Chain A
Amino acid sequence: MVHKAKASHVGTCLSMTDLLAVLYGEILRVDPERPNWEDRDRFILSKGHGAAAIYATLAERGFFPISWLETYCCDGTRLAGHITHFHVPGVDASSGSLGHGLSLACGMALAGKRDRLPYRVFALLSDGECDEGSIWEAVLFAPHHRLDNLVALVDYNKIQSFGTVKEVLDLEPFADKWRAFGWGVREIDGHDHRQIYDALNGVAFETGKPSVLVAHTIKGKGVSFMQDKLDWHYKSPDAAQLARALAELGVSA
């Protein structure tokens, strides 16, 4: 998709793909036959630039034909470079400007609570977007309203636009910050499916509190020449790089 569209953000997609695989494979109560089912779990991709990964996940899960993926970023089609809900089954919200998704998720979780509906709301954030003040408005809001049906996941790959998170604007002590705001916190290896499953299967982490899963990840995970490389926030793989990457990942084109 990213190669064909000459698009960017492949590194960010690879860092969160394991999280998406476990979420859509095991955790989320969703039904591709009924994408607007009222009691479905909601999923908000707040780091909207990971669109390619979520589209691929939704297609694999049967929300729309896999052939749609070929149209990613093409003129007059549905799949934009940042996640877009319009006429895309399974996408609960569009995003792309950072720092918006957790507030949307709070609204959905609040509606579920007040209406006594059983669904949960999951929001996947990037580490870089936690620079946005609006994220912390939502972080403050959710525990106050006891939104224990809300789960934030942070794809903590530790690289943002201009360098490492530590260099640009350090988030540490990151987990402690969420804890201090009143969230139930777990930290895991965000590429270990067992750890991801065990954590997400155990939400809410603490009774009456929203949960945050700080997932330690690697940007560009699984492709040796992309791993931990800032460049792959921007670059699009050429044909040779694509072939090498797919070979390393053990999949065919």
Chain B
Amino acid sequence: MRTSFIETLCALANEDERIWLLTGDLGYSVLEPYARAFPNRYVNVGVAEQNMAGIAAGLARCGKIVFTYSIANFPTLRCLEQIRNDVCYHEGDVKIVAVGGGFTYGAQGYTHHGVEDLAIMRALPNMTVVAPGDPVETRLATRAIAGRPGPCYLRLGKANEPVVHKLVPPFTIGKAIQLRDGRDVTLISTGGMLQETMDVAKRLAPNGIEARVLSMHTVKPVDVEAIVKAARETGAVVTVEEHRLTGGLGTAVADVLAQALTRLPRFCKFGVPDEIYHAIGSQAYMKRLAGDLFETVQALLRQRLAA
């Protein structure tokens, strides 16, 4: 995803000289093509994220479109108040990019697990929150946020994520992409869980379960229409995210369901429980600790049958 991001950013910077890139001294072997091509619109600010966010806000006050780049929680939580006050309150064109969303940095440990970022960024006024599902969506999302006025958060994985979209889909901020249709349940995925969600949907088919799959690449503003339609047409909704169960996609979808519908569907959030934070292991290992999506969906549907 990070390669898709930087290639797209280079293309954008070629087209629009307002584009800048700041990094908090991370992105070695990733950012160099941009730094070489646009040295006048690139700064490595050093290991100083609060300053990076403030500088980005200052540049944005001077008409720039500023991407800030770092990993996991560093470009978000470390400088949260600068983002809230200096970026969001000033409606600055600052696009915060975090590589290593979820458990991408698995065995690096707790400090490098970005599993509260969606919730926290989503709470900020004026903030658009985007977590693309694969490299194709990453390209489209990077271009989309550059053209969208105001603060945005782009949450990426790292490298070698599978390409899920065989064709380039239409991409609009705030509009989910349907990858698979079904009548029995809707799986709503955000970020790098998209491939696994598709795999689970395919595994459910032989059991007579036709699952609809939505890529909810924009967590804020979330696609209310697609959620309501899914609930009405499939009667069961499961949200899927590499993120804590509090405040992320699952909460956003639950809010919509509770407010928009009088007859609620069966609903379940699949994500990372609070209890998981001392564990050490690879991304795959950490995700297994969070649970089994295939089992979760089947359990939910068994409940529906029993009800």
Contact = CB atoms under 8 A, between A and B. Distances in A.
Given A103-B58, A107-B59, 5 more contacts: A93-B86, A103-B53, A103-B57, A134-B54, A141-B45
A4 interface: no
B50 A107 contact: no
A112 B61 CA distance: 11
B112 interface: no
Contact of B55 (A99, A103, A112, A140): A103
Interface string B79-90: 001100110011
Q: Which 7 A-B residue pairings sit nearest by Cβ, starting from the closest?
A: A107-B58, A103-B54, A111-B62, A137-B51, A107-B55, A137-B48, A134-B50
Contacts, number: 88
Given A104-B58, A107-B62, A94 B90 contact: yes
7 contacts: A94-B85, A100-B81, A100-B85, A106-B58, A110-B58, A138-B54, A141-B48
Interface of B: 40-41, 43, 45-46, 48, 50-51, 53-64, 81-82, 85-86, 89-90
A17 interface: no
Interface string A165-180: 0000000000000000
A97 interface: yes
How would you classify the secondary structure of chain B's contact residues: helix, strand, loop or mixed?
helix
A114 interface: yes
Contacts of A228: none
A127 interface: no
A141 B41 CA distance: 16
Contacts of B51: 103, 106, 134, 137-138, 141
Nearest to A111: B62
B89 A104 contact: no
A92 interface: yes
